[in-house]
Amino acid sequence: MQPLTSVYIQYNLPMGNAHHLSGVFAAVVTPLNPDFSPDLDGLNNLIHFLANRGCHGILVLGTTGEGPSFSMNERLLMYQTAAMARQDLPEFRLLAGTGTPSLEDSISLTRSVFELGYDGVVVLPPYYFRKATDKGLFAWFRYLIERSVPTDGAVLGYHIPPISGVSLGLDLLARLKDSYPHQFMGIKDSSGDPEWARSLGDRFGPDLIVLNGNDRLFNHALESKASGCITAMANLLSPLHRTIWDNFQSGASDEITQDRLSGAREVLDRYPPMPPLIKLMLSKLHGFPHWSVKPPLLEFEPDLAEVVLSEFLAALD
């Protein structure tokens, strides 16, 4: 197998007629110091690393980035750091996770992100009230869009019911898209459900941007008219994601690379949660510091580190 550290893929190659939010995005981890403060230099270095390994962009402070664990001020600081890192990365896309249970906080964060020049936001629904109706969720997104999103700003709903407990149903997505056709652009689909991925394609076709959140379903999602992916494992293996993406754009379904990606994801799924494991693997495979995670998450068990690394590399062979 080609050494993982030796791969360089240009991120800003021409994309034909693809939407500017299409492609391979890493759900970037948040580098932290031992005292849990953000390691801003580490974030800058990681962004440049990912840009040079085929990522078209990143999502800052999503689930893998431990977004809900940080204060408003911490989040703004990290948004600003990523925006500064992008200054010497032409066309590299920035998405930010801005959804919180608080409508006002979500509005404030979203407005700040667009003022920093981000390409879009990925917004969790208000996940405290898990039995909210579609009518209530529509009202929540309506206020958020009308009060914080510019006319050319892109909003992606974050569909991750195993974590949030709140689903973004097909009818709700259609209503949001019809009501805000230039702002509500699509979803990040982290359901892990292949039938749901197919239903999205059947209902909306290419009119709704769908960014797949599960590495095992990337090729399937593309065949179901998805626009790309945002995944945790792109922190580690974005050259494989980019190979699948590039081949699909050329009309080829790359099952061999997908099998490697799926095998690696199966290994990581055996050792949840993802943020401490991805941080460990970034250190082991790519020489980054072994960054902390913020409580309630805990550091990955040291005794398992070599076992997981061995299984992961074996899955890629």
How big is the chain, counted in residues? 317
Domain annotation covers residue 268: no
Domain annotation covers residue 309: no
Catalytic residue among 11, 30, 63, 243: 63
Domain annotation covers residue 258: no
Give the domain extent around 27: 7-252
What DSSP string describes 91-154? T-EEEEE---S-HHHHHHHHHHHHHTT-SEEEE----S-TT--HHHHHHHHHHHHHHH--TT-E
Interior angle at CA 116, CA 114 and CA 122, nearest 5: 45
Tens digit of pLDDT at every position of the chain (317 positions): 344 555 656 556 555 556 789 999 999 999 999 999 999 999 999 999 999 999 999 999 999 999 999 999 999 999 999 999 999 998 999 999 999 999 999 999 999 999 999 999 999 999 888 889 999 999 999 999 999 999 999 999 999 988 898 889 999 999 999 999 999 999 999 999 999 999 999 999 999 999 999 999 999 999 999 999 999 999 999 999 999 999 999 998 899 999 999 999 999 999 999 999 999 999 999 999 999 999 999 999 999 999 999 999 999 98
Domain annotation covers residue 284: no
Is 151 an annotated catalytic residue? Answer: no
Domain annotation covers residue 109: yes
Domain annotation covers residue 129: yes
Catalytic residue among 64, 158, 257, 271: 158
CB 103 within 8 A of CB 124: no
Domain annotation covers residue 170: yes
Is 118 an annotated catalytic residue? Answer: no
The enclosing domain of 225 has a CATH number of: 3.20.20.70
Q: What is the pTM of this model?
A: 0.93
- Give the chain's domain count: 1
Catalytic residue among 81, 98, 177, 188: 188
**Spatial distance between the Cα atoms of 232 and 211, rounded to a whole number of angstroms:** 13
Domain annotation covers residue 277: no
Is 188 an annotated catalytic residue? Answer: yes
